[in-house]
Chain A
Amino acid sequence: MSSSLSAAPGLVILAVCLIVAFGFAGLVAYLLRRYLPPGLREPSGATAAAYMTAFGSLFAFLTGFLINSEYATLKSAQSYVGQEVAAATQLASASATLPPPDAARIQDEMVVYLSSLPGAEWRALSQRRPDSSPSGQYLSDLQQQVYTLSERKYPSSAALSSMAGGIEEMTQARRQWLAIAASSLPLPLLVLCVVAAAALILNALVVAIRSGSRYSIVATGLVLIVALDIAAIAAITGPFQGPFIAKPEPIVKLVNEIQDGRYKPWISGQ
């Protein structure tokens, strides 16, 4: 459920969170007005006001932790994308020392693999079906090409070693982001966060009932903040899905460079 919400576009996530938060707040307000006897409103309000700071802090701490943790995951996924691009650049540069037919073929395979990442691979990861991505096969084909070359006599050992290093790092980087994509938000923490949010809203509404309509603006603001916080957690969860994803621009840029012949030393003007 949380995974399908986090895969949705940003506006949808925001709308869902606002509807749920305000729906819940409306329901609680209705129930309080209906079932909380007027005589109990004053002492309940006083007690709730005393708990506001505690619930607020708990909610802020939990959302802060979750947002920070998911942001770190996103940054780490982005860093593996960067690592992949750096390793691919090393492979492309090393392939430039091979005879032109070999260099062109290795770079063709690289384009096929790298082009599949922002599309098919990201989509498969967002659907938590990494096996449906063709990128693994493309990377394996590229590895085969590099290993085949390493058995031959004509490439220089420096080029072969650099290419082997590049393909190894590419494989490692991909494994890392597959592992990241497989990890999910810690469910107990998320549940605790939602419970804290519900408690905070409930508490704020009890205080609002005691303090009258002037305080209801503050309560509305608080519900809005809770909705935004939960929306932020949902949006940032999963580095390959939703509105905040690992940026594919470095990959796209490298693909364009390879296609333009940047790593083919015989193409002038590069």
Chain B
Amino acid sequence: MSRRAKLAAGGAAACLLALLLAVVMWPSANAPDPCAADSSRCATIAAGEPIYLGTLLSDTDTQGIDALTSTELAIDYLDGRFDGIGGRLLDHPISLVSENDGCSPEGGRLGAERLLQEDKLLGVVGPTCSSSALDAADALLTARKTPIISPSNSAPSLTDAERHQRYYFRTALNDLLQAEVASAFAYEKLGGRTAAVMFSPSAYSSQLGVAFGNRFKLKGGTVVSRSNLEGSGGLTGAIRAAERKKPDVIFVPVQMSTKPSCADTVAAIRASATLRASRVIVSEACQDRTFLTALGKEAAGVFASGPDAGDTARDPFYQSEYLPAFKRSSGAAPAGVFDTNAFDAANLIFDAIRQAAERQPGGGLVVDREKMRSALLEVKGYSGLSGTLDCSTTGDCAQGGRIAVYKAPDWPVLNPKAKPVFSQSKSIVELLTGP
């Protein structure tokens, strides 16, 4: 063989070897292991080890207590039976780590920090109150790439594109919808032209109060007073301010767990002879059995806005399986309106884990939390117990729904077949693109 031929043969062999190496190396060079690059992003669950799910719910607010029961029911139902025995997910038991959200930014922060002490935490159902989430739990959990789905947060700013935290989602309806329907009820159905808003400084209450006022004004009404119940004048000051204006409608978007509570505020309004003619509308946070018990006969005629419970009440799974299980578990029917949202939130997390988990030989799992987030963003048309869920990039999974207004004492918390006096179906897109 000539020298040139030898060189050519050597060159060809080298090229072939290089090509072979490129082919072998290509997949690893093209797809680096995301878990190796960022260990905080993934959780490795050994065979037999539990999957950690957190709850960050108020332990004093009935909405939070109901949501915890529903989350436990979602775990129970992983085996297809509400038998009080927790099911398994991908052949791993679920370990529930529960913290109180305190219904405040401090409570949300503290609870989230405690939950994050568990390195393998894969998701959180909660918080109950918007103020616990806003720039508190949502930011902390997002920083640790842990999906958080609230069943009852409704403050619009939580899913505002400019401040939304990437890992934050919610199954509760955005209060833009409730504000629209409550204001439409006040203006169109009650014929109210003037309204007073009494709110607490929490994110939920203040934002819903503002949204109600804006929608009421858009319809042609006037907001005659806005009173912070925890401001300098307190509840008395708010009542006096309203008495001076004698509004047609008083909107009270206040929770039962705040001081003064929704029940305290409505009781004070009822006690005022000047405000006897004013119609009172409370929000879904007040749509609670304890409110009706606290006010007794004085509750009669108080309107409450909130998710239309009709569709859920007619759901055969809810009727035949979920509701009896809820009653067995807690001793009573749900006292609030967000229990089914919590059931859906937990199931969305379970499904995201299924989508994101890489099964390891021997039964272990590696779960990429970023993939869980991506899986949540792929949710479109999920037939949940709380309604149809489509998760948007800003975290709203309930993109629309029917909001109803009920008249006490015929509220769904007392009568699951209660008929609303007003009901409208609205979507976030409709409100953001409309007038």
Of the listed residues B317, B350, B384, the one surrounded by the most CB atoms of chain A closer than 10 A to its CB is: B317
**Which of A100, A105, A108, A267 lies in contact with B380, CB distance below 8 A?**
A267
Q: Is A264 an interface residue (CB 8 A)?
A: yes
In the bound assembly, the distance between CA atoms of A267 and B382 in angstroms comes to 8
Given that A99-B383, A100-B383, A154-B321 are known contacts, is A268 also in contact with B378, CB under 8 Å in the complex? yes
By the criterion CB–CB under 8 Å, are B347 and A108 in contact? no
B244 to chain A, nearest CB (A): 52
A-contact 0/1 string along B69-102, CB 8 Å cutoff: 0000010011111000001011100000000000
In the bound assembly, the distance between CA atoms of A126 and B59 in angstroms comes to 57
By the criterion CB–CB under 8 Å, are A105 and B81 in contact? no
By the criterion CB–CB under 8 Å, are B383 and A101 in contact? no
By the criterion CB–CB under 8 Å, are B320 and A100 in contact? no
Instruction: Specify which chain B residues have a CB less than 8 angstroms from the CB of A267 in the assembled complex.
Output: 355, 375, 378-380
Q: How many residues on the A side are at the interface (Cβ–Cβ under 8 A)?
A: 23
By the criterion CB–CB under 8 Å, are B74 and A266 in contact? no
Name which of A23-31, A145-153, A224-232 contacts chain B: A145-153
In the bound assembly, the distance between CA atoms of A102 and B315 in angstroms comes to 15
Instruction: Specify which chain B residues have a CB less than 8 angstroms from the CB of A154 in the assembled complex.
Output: 315-317, 320-321
**Which of A101, A145, A265 lies in contact with B74, CB distance below 8 A?**
A101
By the criterion CB–CB under 8 Å, are A152 and B320 in contact? yes
By the criterion CB–CB under 8 Å, are A266 and B80 in contact? no
In the complex, chain B residues 289-304 whose Cβ is within 8 Å of any chain A Cβ: none
Q: Is B381 an interface residue (CB 8 A)?
A: yes
By the criterion CB–CB under 8 Å, are B355 and A101 in contact? no
By the criterion CB–CB under 8 Å, are A268 and B379 in contact? yes
**Which of B91, B350, B382 lies in contact with A112, CB distance below 8 A?**
B91
By the criterion CB–CB under 8 Å, are A100 and B347 in contact? yes
Q: Is B245 an interface residue (CB 8 A)?
A: no
By the criterion CB–CB under 8 Å, are B355 and A145 in contact? no
Interface residues of B (CB under 8 A from A): 74, 77-81, 87, 89-91, 315-317, 320-321, 347, 350-351, 354-355, 375, 378-385, 389
Interface residues of A (CB under 8 A from B): 99-102, 104-105, 108, 112, 145, 148-149, 152-154, 259-261, 264-269
User: What would 10 more interface pairs be, CB under 8 Å, given A101-B347, A152-B321?
Assistant: A101-B350, A102-B80, A104-B350, A108-B89, A108-B90, A154-B315, A265-B381, A266-B379, A267-B380, A269-B378
